[in-house]
Amino acid sequence: MVRILPQLLSAWEKGQRVPRPEDVARLLGALRVDDVTYDRMMRLARHARDDNWLDSNPSDLPPALSGIVEYERTATRITNWELAIVPGLLQTPDYARAILTNSEIDLPQADTRLVARLNRQGILAGPDPVRITSLVGEMAIREEIGSAEVMSDQMDHLLTMMERPNISLRIVPANIGYHPGLIGSFILYEFAGMQPIVHLENSHATAFLHEDDVVRNYRRQAKLLAGKALSEDDTRAMLREVAR
């Protein structure tokens, strides 16, 4: 039996206070979670007080994806900018497989990541799906990944996803001069009753940023990119052209 004041537990649930790792360990012990879940949750607990969290081992699936999966599951809105590839939540299985099998990841790990990525897309459906605003660089739809057929199917899939009321997709055209989005991609997660979080990722590290000034800067960047993006109608026209 774990004795915790109801007020303290409520503050944890609302994100008003951060539980200590030892408190998390006691709760996990009382819940009798499996070893994988225990390790994943304790990793999150140890980094919860960090101003920013950098995970430098993204090849280890449970720790690397645990934060992303949880943020996607609990977010009310996700805004992402993708410079050169289609956003993961909007990828077809063949497109995702082509990326993972060419990412210096061994085959079993690539298969595991593929299943995880496709399962994560479940947040886009259901009675109360997350709202997605995706701003995507033109390079992402012009660069052939996998094959011409894979790309055509991916474009058709994006067109289908755009029919959903909770998904907005707009292309930022190429050759429009410098803008901050050329530096790299990012994802902004927003929650009910919690501070927003920015996710950055490259081939060797994953960072989660939640300082107020940092989040504000990425909000401004998303607004700037939205101002340069095509309308949804023009985006559909470009996707249809690429799909031919």
Asked if 66 and 44 touch (Cβ cutoff 8 Å), the reply is yes
100 and 72, same structural domain? Answer: yes
pLDDT at position 59, please?
Answer: 43
> What separation, in Å, do the N-terminal and C-terminal C-alpha atoms of the chain show?
62
Do residues 195 and 94 both lie within one domain? Answer: yes
Residues 80 and 188 in one domain: yes
Mean pLDDT of 14-30: 72
Tell me, what's the pLDDT at 121?
82
pLDDT of residue 134: 98
- Greater confidence, 92 or 66? 92
201 or 115: which leads in pLDDT: 201
Task: Judge whether residue 52 has pLDDT over 60.
Answer: no
- E strands present in the chain: 52-55, 77-82, 131-137, 167-172, 186-190, 197-201, 206-209
Nearest of 112, 177, 102, 113 to residue 143 by alpha carbon: 102
Measure the CA–CA gap between 147 and 149, rounded to whole angstroms.
Answer: 5
Q: Do residues 63 and 42 share a domain?
A: no
Question: Based on the domain organization, do 11 and 73 belong to the same domain?
Answer: no
Query: What span, in angstroms and rounded, lies between the C-alpha atoms of 193 and 195?
Result: 7
Task: Compute the distance between CA of residue 146 and CA of residue 56 in angstroms, rounded to an integer.
Answer: 27
| CA 199 to each of CA 19, 63, 116, 222: distance values in angstroms, whole numbers, following the listed order | 22, 15, 18, 13
The pair phi, psi for residue 168, each rounded to 5°, is -120, 125
Which residues have CB under 8 Å from 188's CB, separation 6+?
Answer: 78, 79, 80, 196, 197, 198, 199, 215, 218, 219, 222
CATH number of residue 164's parent domain = 3.30.870.10
- Rounded to the nearest 10°, the torsion over CA 215, 217, 220, 222 is -60
pLDDT tens, residue by residue, 167-181: 999 999 999 999 999
Q: Which residue has the tokens 């496709």?
A: 118
Most confident range (mean pLDDT) of 5-9, 29-33, 76-80 is 76-80
Tell how strand 77-82 and strand 186-190 pair up.
antiparallel
Q: What is the mean pLDDT of the chain?
A: 83
Q: Is residue 60 scored above 60 in pLDDT?
A: no
Identify whether residues 152 and 194 lie together within a single domain: yes
In this structure, the answer to whether residues 72 and 9 fall within a common structural domain is no
Q: What is the reported pLDDT for 58? A: 43
pLDDT recorded at residue 229: 98
Token code pair at residue 21 = 């790792």
Cα 204 to Cα 224: distance, rounded to the nearest angstrom: 28
Pair 43, 105 in one domain = no
* Closest-CA residue to 12 (of 164, 194, 186, 138): 194
Same structural domain for residues 33 and 64? Answer: no
The pLDDT assigned to 12 comes to 67
| pLDDT tens string 118-155 | 777 888 887 889 999 999 999 999 999 999 999 999 99
pLDDT for the residue numbered 35: 66
User: Domain check: are 84 and 14 in the same one?
Assistant: no
Q: Does one domain contain both 82 and 130? A: yes
Domain count, the chain: 2
The per-residue pLDDT for range 181-221, each reduced to its tens digit, is: 999 999 999 998 788 999 998 766 778 888 899 999 999 99
Q: Are residues 18 and 138 in the same domain?
A: no
- For the residues 155-176, what does the mean pLDDT come to? 96
Segments forming the whole domain that contains residue 135: 51-243
Q: Kindly tell me if the per-residue pLDDT of 62 is higher than 50.
A: no
Q: Any residues with CB less than 8 A from the CB of 205 and at least 6 apart, and which? A: 54, 55, 56, 58
